[in-house]
Amino acid sequence: MTLTRRHTLSLTALGLLGAAAGCATGSPKKSAKQATEGRELTGTVTIWAWDVAATALKRLGPQFTALHPKVTIEVTDIGYDNAYDKMAIGLKSGSGLADVLTVETDHMQTYAAQFPTGFLDLTSVASSMKADFDPSKWSASSDRTGKLFSLPWDSGTAGLFYRTDLFATAGIDPRSLATWDDLITAGTAILARTGAKLLVSDVSNGAGPVPMIMQQQGAGYFNASGDITLDSSATLAAIDIVKRLNDAGLILNVKGWDALVSANKDGKVACAPSGVWWAGTLATEMPELSGKFGVMPLPAVAGGGGRTANNGGSTLAVPSQSKNPDAAWAFVRFCLADVGNQVSMMKAEGLFPAYLPALRDPFFDAPQKYFGDATIYRMFREQTPKIPTITYTDDYAKAGDLLDSVVPGVLLRGKDPKAELKGAAAQLAGQTKRKLA
């Protein structure tokens, strides 16, 4: 899926974070404070979040206080646009942050690397729960040494949402679409018979679905050692798929969230490769289309290959400067490592659990009326543990910016993808002093 305005802003904040971290709190030679348990919980726990995440935490706060009457939970919706600026300033100065911070999945390794003593090390209190969480999210919440600095909250398990009516008109059986090649062939028929393109992507300004297709293959911008893999064969394969989609006239090249929603609502496109949260967007933004959407695993790059990736999701972290770290960690654990609470956040706020035991709740086997009574969350449940783990590092934004420049050049200006990626990887190595894999 194309980057939304929200994701674009967050990448910008990550890019600026390197400068803000120039005088980062603590030294890499020091160790982060360890989270602890067992003490009596008292006092106030302050929390920063936004949107439905803030709503969910506000709802759960009184339930936590009922169990721990001496603790008061205060949740502040700080809004998204300035959230990361506020966090960076607080981490740099060593003061001013809440006791608990909401941090998106692809930001956490940046913070852990640039502020190595900025967050409580949760390893000792959470390691016993590792097998209960989405492996890709646990990895993204950890640093290169395996220390855990945030607890995964929701997964952005990706699938292919599609218009059942357009597929039916074109005579396409979604069950026959095992690979991206299959989807491109089907897309040509859909375009010819319905006039609808296949998907939205702002190919003039970004990488579009390339990172998602990379992750399907187990690839990211860096390997587990932090070496650069931007010019890997998986990246080339992903760009080739998107180029063939564009060459066939199957991409609707529009920019921004509103255009993405409108294109799906108006039937201008037949598909949206996106995270599980897109189900809630469809039901909220276009209720009149109930019964006209389905969802399936992403097509594989090659037969038998991976059919999902991550697209979105957040974690909760406790900064080292917290004035009430024990109660803060207890609240994080209460919210995110509890079946009932995770299921309630799925039902009430649409936050798909990264906590795997919650996915065994009967809710995830229930028919969903909006999707023609299909059991769509069962599919997402099955795919979540299969999301390939990738390494983000603190240079994720730099790598993403370079790929955002490469893809439009290949798609629109006929540049050679192998040469462009090789040049981008070399540029990234120069910027970051990292090795080429």
Weakest-pLDDT range from 16-25, 179-188, 296-305: 16-25
Nearest to 237 by CA among 175, 300, 178, 297: 300
Predicted local confidence at residue 27, as pLDDT: 39
Any domain includes 407: yes
Domain presence at residue 112: yes
Say whether both 140 and 187 belong to one domain.
no
Residues 152 and 162 in one domain: no
Q: What is the pLDDT of residues 202-245, one digit of tens each?
A: 999 999 999 999 999 999 999 999 999 999 999 999 999 999 99
Q: How confident is the model at residue 380 (pLDDT cuts 50, 70, 90)?
A: very high
Domain that holds residue 216: 158-309+392-432
Residue 299 lies in a domain: yes
205 and 251 share one domain: yes
Residue 353 domain-assigned?
yes
pLDDT tops 60 at residue 393: yes
As a whole number, mean pLDDT of residues 358-368 equals: 97
* Mean pLDDT score of the chain: 93
166 in the same domain as 112: no
Is residue 402's pLDDT more than 60?
Answer: yes
Q: Are residues 61 and 203 in the same domain?
A: no
Residue 115 domain-assigned? yes
Q: Are residues 21 and 152 in the same domain?
A: yes
Distance CA 83, CA 244 (A): 38
For 62-99, b/e burial (b = at least 16 CB within 10 A) is: eebeeebeebbbebebbebeebbebbbebbbebeebbb
* CATH number assigned to the domain comprising residue 110: 3.40.190.10
Q: How confident is the model at residue 29 (pLDDT cuts 50, 70, 90)?
A: low
Same domain? 149 vs 95: yes
Contact 184, 172 (CB under 8 A): no
Residues sharing a CB contact under 8 Å with residue 388, sequence separation 6 or more, in sequence order: 136, 215, 216, 217, 218, 219, 306, 309
Domain co-membership, 173 together with 241? yes
Percent of all residues in the chain with a pLDDT value above 90, rounded to a whole number: 90
Judge if 208 and 169 occupy the same domain: yes
Rounded to two decimals, what is the model's pTM? Answer: 0.89
* Backbone phi and psi for residue 100, each to the nearest 5 degrees, phi listed first: -135, 135
Angle between helices 396-413 and 233-247 (to 10 degrees): 40
pLDDT at 327 over 50: yes
Distances (CA, A) of 159 to 7, 307, 377: 19, 8, 11
Per-residue model confidence (pLDDT) at position 17 = 52
Closest CA to 21 of 107, 140, 98, 113: 113
Q: Which residues pair with 200 in a beta bridge?
A: 252
Question: What pLDDT score was predicted for residue 33?
Answer: 80
- Indicate if 276 and 217 belong to the same structural domain: yes
Using pLDDT thresholds of 50, 70 and 90, give the confidence band for residue 21: very low
Whether 369 is in a domain gets the answer no
Domain match, 74 and 181 both: no
Same domain, 272 and 221: yes
Indicate whether 431 pLDDT > 70: yes
Given a cut of 90, whether residue 303 has pLDDT beyond it is yes
How many domains does the chain divide into?
A: 2
256: in domain:
yes
Whether residue 372 lies inside any domain: the answer is no
